Amino acid sequence: MIVIDGLQYSNWNRSIFEQLRQGGVTMVHATIVYHEQIRETLMRIAEWNRHFEQHGDLIMPIKSAEDIRVAKRLGKVGIMFGAQNCSPIEDDIGMVEVMRELNLMIMQLTYNNQSLLACGCYEAEDSGVTRFGRQAIKEMNRVGMVVDMSHSGERSTLEAIEISERPIVISHANPLSFHEAKRNKSDKVLKALGESGGLLGFSLYPFHLKNGPDCSLDDFCDMVASTADLMGIDRIGIGTDLCQEQPLSVLEWMRNGRWSKEMDYGEGSKSNADWPRPLSWFRDSRDFPNITNGLLARGFSPEDVAKVMGMNWLNFLDDGLKPG
């Protein structure tokens, strides 16, 4: 079975790469930047080049969807670059193609706040996709860079689905009906995403789950089942949002970037000022088989489980990464 994790941001090292392989993960979409701009993004790519050089027996870069199949055959973990903000292109439309040539495959239009392209889910007013955003989406479609709206507001997300000539992703979020969080998506958004051929990756980040770190595997699988009914079994996958071995300073960078002097608590509560306690049934990538077994126990067919665990992502990327 091909297993694809639609998003992680870990403190990458050999031990984590080994855990990915032990968990049967074929490919992981790795966030390389949050608020980093062009030069800093290039430095992150250089760091990954060193990882590929030093740990080439375990990992390999993903430069096309076919490389995911190659990784499976070789028994390696494929690494696909993504950005959780539009900062790597700064204010230059030409940087979309440059970054895609450097294998940045997925880019969020915004990370929580208003950006030059769209509005984030934490803003009081969602003004939608901007003039620059419309041009950026068109250019991303042209070069084969996937549009991701995981941290975007409702209006912006619906507009991106409509504007984009190619299906988009919400790589790591859950239904708002399952748990109320600003990051989670309404049924209206999920229905539009499914009907447009897009893909939702279910997040295992405890703050986005019912009962937080105490969310049960049964409850998670129930959420998957109800979302499959809403969107279609071919339109869902996994995007764990796993952040392993990261210090608190990284959480502060994710939330604050350079725009705030004070700690941003996201949902407005100091109770989530630190990394959450991990789920008992998903502590790291070695626990992917628990999700597979949970879905089988919930009544999903082996074929449908294979879709959720990776084939839907692979089918989506087969088209999404090709130049338009």
8-state DSSP, 286:
G
SS3 12: coil
Q: What is the CA radius of gyration of the chain?
A: 18
Phi, psi of 302 (to 5 degrees): -55, -35
Could you tell me the sign of the dihedral formed by the alpha carbons of 125, 126, 131, 133, in that order? positive
SS3 241: coil
CA nearest 121: which of 8, 266, 258, 250? 266
CA nearest 202: which of 147, 239, 149? 239
Show pLDDT as tens, one digit a residue, over the chain (324 residues): 999 999 999 999 999 999 999 999 999 999 999 999 999 999 999 999 999 999 999 999 999 999 999 999 999 999 999 999 999 999 999 999 999 999 999 999 999 999 999 999 999 999 999 999 999 999 999 999 999 999 999 999 999 999 999 999 999 999 999 999 999 999 999 999 999 999 999 999 999 999 999 999 999 999 999 999 999 999 999 999 999 988 888 888 888 899 988 887 765 555 567 788 999 999 999 999 999 999 999 999 999 999 999 999 999 999 999 998
- Number of Cβ within 10 Å of residue 155's Cβ equals 16
178 CA to centre of own chain: 19
- The pLDDT score that the predictor gives to residue 266 is 64
- The pLDDT score that the predictor gives to residue 261 is 87
Instruction: Pull the structure tokens for residue 256.
Output: 């604050």
Instruction: Pull the structure tokens for residue 234.
Output: 């071919």
* Helical packing angle, 312-320 and 65-74, nearest 10°: 140
- The pLDDT score that the predictor gives to residue 271 is 58
* Helical packing angle, 217-231 and 288-298, nearest 10°: 70
- The pLDDT score that the predictor gives to residue 270 is 59
Q: All domains of the chain, ordered by start, with CATH? A: 4-320 (3.20.20.140)
- The pLDDT score that the predictor gives to residue 269 is 56
Query: By 3-state DSSP, what share of the chain in percent is helix, strand and coil, each rounded to 5?
Result: 45, 15, 40
pTM: 0.96
d(CA 272, CA 265): 7
Residues 6+ apart with CB under 8 A from 102: 42, 45, 81
